Amino acid sequence: RRSNTNKNIQAKLVLLGDMGTGKTSLVLRFVKGQFSDYQESTIGAAFFTQVLSLNEATIKFDIWDTAGQERYHSLAPMYYRGAAAAIVVYDITSSESFERAKKWVQELQRRGNLNLITFLVANKVDLEEKREVGKEEGELYAKENGFSFLETSAKTAQNVNELFYEIAKKLAKAA
């Protein structure tokens, strides 16, 4: 039964993190339910919308996937301006990507938007045998910095819908 307090929320969501960590793959898994081992690097516009319905609210996500400018940190402020939520992604098989994720976390914190919903996401957990970054390490760093944390696999779909539902729930609560 639809309650009369059902809210319609439109929210900009941005993905940040090093090239190759699986940002586009996570979005395509969520939006299209698909995965490709040969995901082409994102060039040009990368904008997706997806609607999630909760009991208490309907959330329309405007998802901004980084379009190959991951290396250019100076573009970031323009890119995440007006965002309600930010997902910083690293790849558990790459310590380097974790170090770069920390840079993004720090940059978002310098901006000091207390209302921003922030997630640190450790992707590619299906590649356990190649793991370089421990779960506890990621979890602890997230916690220390006030980020929520999830380990995901765009390939197997592990925790991907959960990630976007968690964000939707936080948005509904904040609205």
Task: Say how far apart CA 173 and CA 175 lie, in whole Å.
Answer: 6
- Per CB under 6 A, 25 contacts ligand GDP: yes
Q: By CB under 5 A, name the one of 21, 24, 152, 153 that touches Mg ion.
A: 24
DSSP 22-80: SHHHHHHHHHHS---TTPPPP-S--EEEEEEE-SSEEEEEEEE---S-TT-GGGHHHHH
Which C-beta is closer to ligand GDP: that of 57 or that of 76? 76
Judged by CB under 6 A, does residue 100 bind ligand GDP?
no
Tell me the C-alpha distance between 58 and 10, whole Å.
8
Residue 164's CB is within 10 A of a number of other CB atoms, namely 24
Work out whether 144 is an interface residue with ligand GDP (CB under 6 A): no
Pick from 9, 13, 14, 23: which binds ligand GDP (CB under 6 A)?
Answer: 23
Which residue lies nearer to ligand GDP by CB, 142 or 155? Answer: 155
- Would you tell me which residues interact with ligand GDP (CB under 6 A)? 19-25, 36-37, 39, 41-42, 123-124, 126-127, 153-155
